[in-house]
Amino acid sequence: MRRIRITVAYDGTEFHGWQVQPGLPTIQGWLEQILTGIESAPVQVHGSGRTDAGVHAIAQVAAFDLKNPIPCDNLRKAVNRLLPRSIRVTSVEEAAADFHPRFQAKEKTYEYRIWREEICPPMRRLYVFHHPYLLNEEAIRAAAPLLEGEHDFTAFAAADEKDELGRSKVRRIFASAVWREGGELVYRVRGSGFLKHMVRMIMGTLLEVGKGNLTEADLLARLQPGYPAKSGPAVPASGLCLMNVEY
Amino acid sequence: MRRIRITVAYDGTEFHGWQVQPGLPTIQGWLEQILTGIESAPVQVHGSGRTDAGVHAIAQVAAFDLKNPIPCDNLRKAVNRLLPRSIRVTSVEEAAADFHPRFQAKEKTYEYRIWREEICPPMRRLYVFHHPYLLNEEAIRAAAPLLEGEHDFTAFAAADEKDELGRSKVRRIFASAVWREGGELVYRVRGSGFLKHMVRMIMGTLLEVGKGNLTEADLLARLQPGYPAKSGPAVPASGLCLMNVEY
């Protein structure tokens, strides 16, 4: 049995997220269906983590086991021929037998893009959150690096994030920065891992700072263990993209 | 009665082209439906020209007459609230009573984009033609300016381009150039006007030059009056975008 590691790019617009859901198009579902056909036996695909419905990826990482001896290059081409054009396998390689894309991920990078002008170009609409309203962008830029370091992100996790006993909500953020690219405000965050909805709730909280509804002190308070409420609200999925997973 | 001039951007992917077609979504159809609602009387929208199904626009120009005294800024906002996000009216202004977007257009600019690498990024797929196969790009770059000047483009018109008596197929091309932008080969052409499918047939012919199937002399022969056959084939609509119309 070979363990194969793949890198996957996708336009999340038309999918119900990464994870298999019976009867709904998902990225994992498409990959498993095609690989099961190639293997003539059930193939389970394990991602570095789930992405929500509508979230995009430049380089999601996943792995699966295969008996079929097909060379990696041919497998990439075969899978891409069968996938919709909104999903592309950008690399296929042999991995160590114990490679696990979720448990061994060391860091992940996400970007969140906000279109700031009144009119959102039709060809950008699926890849940004359109928010043309007044914001103190300088305050957002200044607040973003406060997330860096090791913090308890309980306040930045979806209400239904699993509350397993002993499963820590402490994560380390290596870099957290905001800048402008033309009409877009870009937030890039690199961390050891992310809870469900975490990036979108951080972005939503930074927007509250930009609106003057929260101060830097309020943001820091939400990073203290035992903070009593959920932060947010989460911003829409369309602006979010998984850029990279490091091992 | 006011004559109003608008500039329109659209992602052509989901539309059956610019022109109204009963029962099918088109850009003109959407605009007329919304403006008729605002005017409470039928409004006809005249574009600078048609774009085919799947062709995009950054700045199509159109005009219509309105009795409603709504200020231009408010009209732009009202129309954009009612349009799908794949169509945006980027400007609205009062025009001269005799302004006609088709007959008075002095020049138009189109771009055609070809994705040259094996894997087309999912988020670019709707806005390029994916052609990763061997091409002599230098030959294409060298041939593109040969289109400049005044020529009979009969060989570069769709077979069903209207053959009205006395309607010339001579057009003047002011600039015709090819260059690389990362993984994309970009063709930009600016001319006095374009026949149906003309840009896509020029691009298809330039690709034949890049494949070594046609020489520069073959290309020039197709620009002579009386050339006996159609050129082409036309490349797919997804790579084409109307960039600008000048008056």
The arithmetic mean of pLDDT across residues A3-17, rounded, is: 98
The arithmetic mean of pLDDT across residues B41-62, rounded, is: 97
Give catalytic status of residue A11 as yes or no.
no
Q: Which residues pair with B109 in a beta bridge?
A: B190, B244
Residue list, annotated binding site of B = 110
pLDDT above 70 as % of chain B: 97
The verdict on B122 touching A (C-beta cutoff 8 Å) is yes
Band (B47; pLDDT cuts 50, 70, 90): very high
Band (A226; pLDDT cuts 50, 70, 90): confident
Residue in chain B nearest A13 by alpha carbon: B123
The whole-number pLDDT of residue A28 equals 98
The arithmetic mean of pLDDT across residues B89-109, rounded, is: 97
Check B90 against A11: CB less than 8 A apart.
no
The whole-number pLDDT of residue B182 equals 95
The arithmetic mean of pLDDT across residues B8-21, rounded, is: 97
The whole-number pLDDT of residue A159 equals 75
Structure tokens at A199: 């990036």
Check A11 against B123: CB less than 8 A apart.
yes
Measured CA to CA in angstroms, residue A34 lies from A64, A174, B113 at distances of 12, 36, 30
pLDDT above 90 as % of chain B: 90
pLDDT over 90 at A246, yes or no: yes
Residue B122 has a CB neighbour count (10 Å cut-off) of: 23
The verdict on A13 touching B (C-beta cutoff 8 Å) is no
Is A137 exposed, middle or buried, given 0-12, 13-18 or 19+ CB atoms closer than 10 A? Answer: middle
pLDDT over 90 at A106, yes or no: yes
Least confident of A93-107, A110-124, A215-229, B112-126: A215-229
Structure tokens at A174: 């290596």
Domains of chain A: 2-95 (3.30.70.580), 107-246 (3.30.70.660)
Which of B88, B123, B128 is most worth mutating to test chain A (most A CB atoms within 10 A of its CB)? B123
Residue in chain A nearest B130 by alpha carbon: A85
Residue list, annotated binding site of B for substrate = 110
Contacts of B88 in chain A (CB under 8 A): 119-122
State the Cα–Cα distance between residues B237 and B85, nearest whole angstrom.
20
The whole-number pLDDT of residue B77 equals 97
Check A122 against B56: CB less than 8 A apart.
yes
The verdict on A122 touching B (C-beta cutoff 8 Å) is yes
Report which secondary-structure segment, H or E, holds A200: helix A198-210
The arithmetic mean of pLDDT across residues A122-147, rounded, is: 98
Band (A227; pLDDT cuts 50, 70, 90): confident
Place of tokens 């996000």: B85
* Average pLDDT of the residues of chain B: 95
Is B231:B222 a contact under the CB 8 Å cutoff? yes
